[in-house]
Amino acid sequence: MARVFISVGSNIDRKKHITAGIRALHELYHPIKCSSVYESESVGFDGDNFYNLVIELDTQSSITEVSANLANIEDLNGRNRQGPRFSSRTLDLDLLLYGDQVLNSSTLTLPRPEIYENAFVLLPLTELAGQQKDPLSEHTYAQLWNKFDQQKQQLWAIDFDTDFCSAHL
């Protein structure tokens, strides 16, 4: 069984797509645990604000199966893969961590580099796994958050109904 963390984001019809993403992950992998939902400005392009959170779950599915399921959920929510890398998204599901796996292939890097680069990934991950050690740096995610330049990217928690999330795994 692997403990998995997935980043969830949307800046197009945000509430609808975030809810759909949470629901789909719950249906595949319940129970799931969710961080708070945060709103932040877009990073890397000029666009509408994003909603972001991180989901924690346990699975016996392989990395390949989890990645395929995430892509399928994105596609079912109208994800456009033809645009630039930094652009608006109906739903963005990124595999952040799969157990303590370290992987660097042409299709997937684990831990996902965005953990170290973006407040909207690191802060919600820290909520769920603050005392867990990052397999690359050997620091906990709480330590990484404390070292992060928190003025670089502003984000704020919002009220969001996460009916499909359990309080604990």
**What's residue 44's pLDDT?**
74
Q: Average the pLDDT over each of 83-92, 134-143, 155-164 and give the range with the smallest value.
A: 83-92
**What's residue 81's pLDDT?**
67
Alpha-carbon distance of 137 to 97, in angstroms, equals 14
Domain ranges of the chain: 2-166
**What's residue 110's pLDDT?**
97
**What's residue 166's pLDDT?**
77
Q: What is the pTM of this model?
A: 0.94
The average pLDDT across 54-63 equals 97
Domain 2-166: give its CATH code: 3.30.70.560
Q: What is the 3-class SS of the chain, one letter each residue?
A: CEEEEEEEEECCCHHHHHHHHHHHHHHHHCCEEECCEEEECCCCCCCCCEEEEEEEEEECCCHHHHHHHHHHHHHHCCCCCCCCCCCCCCCEEEEEEECCCCEECCCCEECCCHHHHCHHHHHHHHHHHCCCECCCCCCEHHHHHHHCCCCCCCEEEECCCCCCEECCC
Asked if the model's pLDDT at residue 169 lies above 50, the reply is: no
Q: Average the pLDDT over each of 62-66, 87-91, 122-126 and give the range with the smallest value.
A: 87-91
